[in-house]
Amino acid sequence: MPQPFQTRPLTVNTKKSADYCLNCSNEATIEALFDLEGAVLVRKYCNDCLLSAKYEES
């Protein structure tokens, strides 16, 4: 997993159901944007999993 080039807090939209972390079943709080060879990939994580994603060696 490459490191995200940008992260931003996930704004809670009360009209929608909650988004869940990609790695676990916790509610997602952060969006991480990955630049994959020109394509931007957005993944949602909880705080704990964002740290793992951020510091994992690619």
Which residues form the interface with Zn ion (CB under 5 A)?
21, 23-24, 26, 46, 49
Identify the three-state secondary structure at position 22.
coil
| Residue 38 Cβ vs Zn ion, minimum distance, rounded to whole Å | 27
| Residue 34 Cβ vs Zn ion, minimum distance, rounded to whole Å | 16
**Pairwise CA distance, residues 49 & 46, whole Å:** 6
| Residue 27 Cβ vs Zn ion, minimum distance, rounded to whole Å | 9
Identify the three-state secondary structure at position 34.
strand
Question: Which CB, 40 or 51, lies closer to Zn ion?
Answer: 51
Structure tokens belonging to residue 48: 């704990």
